[in-house]
Structure 1
Amino acid sequence: MSRLAIVNARLLDPATDYDGPGGVLIEDGRIAEVVRGATSFGEVETIDAQGLCLSPGLIDIRVKTGEPGAEPKETLKSASLSAAAGGVTTIVVQPDTDPAVDDPAMVDFIQRRGAALNLVNVFAAGAATKARDGVRMAEIGLMNEAGALYFTDGDRVIANSRTLQRVMSYAGAFNALIACRPADPWLSEGTVATSGELATRLGLSGAPAIAERIQLERDLALVEQTGARFLVDQISTEGALDTLARARGKGLEVAASVSINHLCFNELDIGEYRTFYRLDPPLRAESDRQALIEAVRDGLIDVITSAHAPAPAEDKRRPFSEAAPGAVGLETLLAATLTLHHEDGLDLLTLLRPLTQGPASLLGLDSGVIEAGAPADLVLFDPDAPVVIDAAKLKSKSKNSPFDGRRLQGRVMRTIVAGRTVFVA
């Protein structure tokens, strides 16, 4: 029996709203005992946390990799190493690989490959339609049996309402979760920024913020009609938040995620065509960013994601309108989220909840908590330690980080998965 104790920690457990001194005893990859207050577990291998924060490991439900099909961008191994360095103990890989994750064999490949690496927990999200074409429904039932945690076409909008209705109705039979990006395709197609004075001045094609609310209204009408479990993927505008709140008020089973990028940056960060800030959805107005922060504070948003989307230099160092959208974020997720604590006054439990308990509850995982019997997936971190992000030193194969050169506060000191240390600073 392998045993490990972590003592003298500041325990942060959003599931029980506990923030105080304590420690844990780990046996055979699971938490055997949690003690609040002074801790001592006798003769056992011990890590003295020296007052550092110990929380459940982060769960990132929106991670793109290049494997299979585009390994030079990112492999499952490099993504897992990045996750471990960022305190992320579970990742959910998006289905936009080549070939797409649209059948049970591909789900099995992703999860077996991830398990063989023996680093972090790797799960797959299945495509909602075959080849993510938005027309033909994928094998949702079989992928659900194979272990896919939810179903989405990722950045592609399912524009055909009949197709999405069928997907939702079929998924409902398995209580499966469907996720969609809310972006009206006719208003958003071919755009690279948010409509407004800045986009006009820079000569960039922009989509109005209302495109998000229009599509979300359609999606939620179908949720109401089918009774499906639904995730609003990467909500980014104040108007869409209002629509989400009304749907929740009706009792619809609707959750929402937000990218850390949209909590930390606004459209002005594009500056003079800085392509590392070329994202999808695009960066929004400062009023939208502030509304998103308040939605996290109030619990309207259930999940914060890194929206990890690796792109090599040759895909980013282009004219803004031609640059690949997206940014890497696994390794910077915790430190970036902590800026909302240091600069906006959100308490640590409020910030950790959509990084741990929120996604775990949404996806039916038994992690995301610090309690006896739960997996020993934990992160030990110093919330105040200064760190300057150097993109060249990130473990991701791609270095397209909008946080490059930025001074943050918060350093991951140790990441533990199933009782194994997979990263130590």
Structure 2
Amino acid sequence: MIQADAGDPAQYPGAEALLLIDIDPSLPPAAHPLSATTSEPEELSAADAAHATFPPAALDGRWNPLPPMLPAPDLLADWLQQDTGLPDLSRLAVREDDQGQQWVVLYEYTVDSAGGPEGEWKGQAEQWHLIHSWLLNAAHYRPAMDFLASRTLMGRWMPEIPSRHGIYLADLPRRPIEREDRDHEMRFIDYGTDTDTPTPDSSSPTTQPPARPRLRTMTGDDVTQAREYLDNLLDTLGYRDGDGATREQQLHELAERWSTTPDTNSAAPPPTTIPSDIARHTHGRPLHAVPAVQEYNWSASGHDCSLDAPVNLSLPSHQLLNGADLMRNPDNGDWHTSDGTRVVRALTSHRPTGTIDTLLARRDSLDERLRALNSALVLGLFGERQPRTTGLTRWREYSQTAGFQSGHEPTVQEQLTRIRVNLNP
């Protein structure tokens, strides 16, 4: 790289560092977005799929979870009461292809809803689930699984999947910015103060009330300590640094929310009333987990006029990719070894009741990677059955965890499910 002056980098640091990101030339060329000639939802969906940068995969029972049995509106109450037929990691954590090769789900988002004419969606049944995955030190696998066994993931679960914006797809994987260890703590915070506390179903073990979060205490008037204290408080309340708003704006928003009449549907409670739980080792130190997936996002509002829709893609994390000698297929989100063996699949599918986004890793390859990293993998599934409405009053939630250790069969823990009731719809 030519250095115009002594301050220029000697090696190409990437377009992001040079403020040169206007379009992403590493994306595969998308079909030209033809003008829509119809307003029918199904035809519009088909047109979007035909011109997608990453075309959806054909429906395939090997990769896609079975669609749920969605009732008519008059049977919705009975459907919510039932705890059968829920997504279960004993069936969803591992998929098998025609050659008998097993694939582990690193990420999945599936949403299905009962059909109905456009504009008449209210009151229809809907069911969705998410599967996330985390890497943790192999020595911490058992205490982590014990910690998760009796806890639902339906609150605010941390650490969260990183989402990469303003970076070329070809620049991934790259080493993430170093963060404080606290960002990787296995931490659960329950913001569900707008609901009652019903008795969990028989499948849900009884647990002791979780401990409250401990905020850093200010020891002086030093400005640096004040900033650290406020950053800690805002992070605990869910105001993530770098989400588009300045810290000053976030503080003003927080002050306004706490100075007005509480709205239990939106306002976060004071920090001393937020239940928090942190997984700890036998020595008392917090356990740490790193998301096994990262998200790539490209906005449709930039200078690339050939794209009229945003591009989203799920990829394995830096920890799984870096040093694994894998190459991404330039036309999709699949990853291959140097001999052409596909070991990661990224699939998006559409069906009459909804959509499916899945990221899978070939099990034997993942097992080798976990052994090399001296790590274990934890999967977390959570989701809801609910009526589609703007005033939700009653719904069913479910949560489940599973663990993978190199050389061992997966451990699938008991599913936790219960009915939730909103006291302030």
Alignment TM-score, normalising by the size of structure 1: 0.24
* Structure with greater Cα Rg: 2
Larger RCO (alpha carbons 8 Å, 6+ apart): 2
The structure richer in helix per residue is 1
